[in-house]
Amino acid sequence: MASPLCFLLTIFILLPFFFSPSLEDAPASAPVSPGTLCKSTPNPSYCRSVLPNHTSDVYTYGRFSVRKSLSQSRKFLKLVDKYLQKYRPSLSVSAIRALQDCRFLAGLNMDFLLCSFETVNATSRTLSPVDADDIQTFLSAILTNQQTCLDGIQSTASAWTIRNGLSVPLSNDTKLYSVSLALFTKGWVPKKKKKAAWAWQRSSKRQLGFKHGRLHFKMSSKTRTIYETVSRRNLLQTRDDGDEEEVLVSDIVTVSQDGSGNFTTINDAVSAAPNNTNGLNGYFLIYITAGVYQEYISIAKNKRYLMMIGDGINQTIITGNRSVVDGWTTFNSATFAVVAPNFVAVNMTFQNTAGAIKHQAVAVRNGADLSAFYSCSFEGYQDTLYTHSLRQFYRECDIYGTVDFIFGNAAVVFQNCNIYPRKPMNGQFNAITAQGRTDPNQNTGTSIHDCNIMAADDLALSNTTFRTYLGRPWKEYSRTVYMQNFMGSLIDPAGWRAWDGDFALNTSYYAEYKNTGPGSNISQRVTWSGFHVINATDAANFTVSSFLLGDDWLQDTGVPYTATLI
């Protein structure tokens, strides 16, 4: 597992690994020139310019690159602070918000790089799959954070001073981080996934069922039943093999708008949660009674192991209306945002009510590793659910939107969810996904498994024909897989849509496996080289067990899941 420093930094990351075929298979301990080694990185010329000009092994080069990356991340954070202090009086509100996003993301990058450097500095050997996933995911998330900062700055039209001053260091640092990711993949990550690494996996299908009256999260039980059950601290769960395991709860508070609970707002309850817990004593559980909560909630990285349980979809509702049109960046337009690892939400609705006319308007932004949403609803139009980074799981959720309404660069699996494209504005089309992978060595992608894709009522009843696509390539190495889903007739026969000309059509990875329904017919699908109809062996790479290493952590959440293909 992750080192003590990583625990201190609140990071618990266990992502799966996929390896770039461009990386050479020479032994990592063999002496090699930087020119030769850099051929296996995405940007060989930049790689040669930063590595020391002498022959060494991959481990030495990798440590050098990660150390330099850490140094550069500190410099960039100072640069952003300088711009915020020096130019704030002359900047628009949207420009200041873009800089604040960059500062927040740069701080996360420093955390990730500290853990990464500690690991690479400690050993010159291939790591275990779990330990390698930790660091490969840190380095993947760093690149995502860089791109998010850049996107925010470039979309701020009035901030030419910021763009001119930050774009070059952002670009150069991104290239350096890409080198670090490539060298880490080359030297420390196992070359092949070993099935033995998951030989201890639990049963492939698990059902949630607590003792003490077998409380199911989805049941519409009353406040007292939930409170009395949860407050026992140990929620005993029965596995398929008959053995008991525990969903541990360290403490519980209730949020109720009528004053009958511990708090009247969700933000106050989050503030009361302990900081930097290691999870050994279980989750800090916030029970949120029915009501409409007009709050903007941001759960910081130190609020680990939070579990929120509501009274049900359309009963406990968190709502807001921030949008890009009204001066927010896409990143900070979210009604609900979380970066704290090991977050769980159950029985809640998250909304952004800005409407289609306000364009990008996020309901939930999730950058929390090992996070799970169960029986939740996400309602918006463009950019509803921002699966920003790290590892995430969604089970039996409803997702509503129009343009790119599931987007981001996490490693994420949606399972047994209902995906509802809505009626967009005239002249628009629906794209369900816009996946943002920017580097071939990132472990990220969107996997949609055993879900139902159907038109929302407003789209189904519309007299106008709006095209709906499975996705489009937001970034160069976009990766999205649909497996064993039901696809309604609303899906355009082409399946997928280009972003801009031929951008990323050959470098993206889009795949379909054994989907059903009238929209699943692949006979007229796009003919891009990046589109694939895959077999069971390839599809298995994108299951909960393989893609998320879900058997290692999801049982602790109490959320049911199917580990493999059905």
Q: Which residues are catalytic?
A: 404
Q: Cβ neighbours of residue 273 under 8 Å, at least 6 residues apart?
A: 284, 286, 303, 306
* Total Cβ atoms within 10 A of residue 527: 8
Residue 45, token pair as written in the block: 């010329």
CB 448 within 8 A of CB 481: yes
Question: What SS3 state is found at 411?
Answer: strand
* Total Cβ atoms within 10 A of residue 493: 13
CB 354 within 8 A of CB 344: no
CB 28 within 8 A of CB 187: yes
Residue 468, token pair as written in the block: 């709906």
Q: What angle do CA 54, 60, 64 make, to 5 degrees?
A: 90
Task: Name residue 129's amino acid.
Answer: P
Three-state secondary structure readout of 501-525: CCCCCCCCEEEEECCECHHHCCCCC
CB 276 within 8 A of CB 304: yes
Residue 532, token pair as written in the block: 């694939």
Question: What SS3 state is found at 127?
Answer: coil
* Total Cβ atoms within 10 A of residue 502: 9
Radius of gyration (C-alpha) of the chain in whole angstroms? 23
CB 95 within 8 A of CB 156: yes
CB 447 within 8 A of CB 543: yes
Residue 510: beta bridge partners?
Answer: 480, 531
Cα→Cα distances 22→66, 137, 537, Å: 20, 19, 21
Task: Name residue 482's amino acid.
Answer: Y
Question: What SS3 state is found at 64?
Answer: helix
Strands 283-288, 244-255: pairing kind = parallel
The full DSSP string for 361-389 is --SEEE--TTEEEEEEEEE-STT-EEE-S
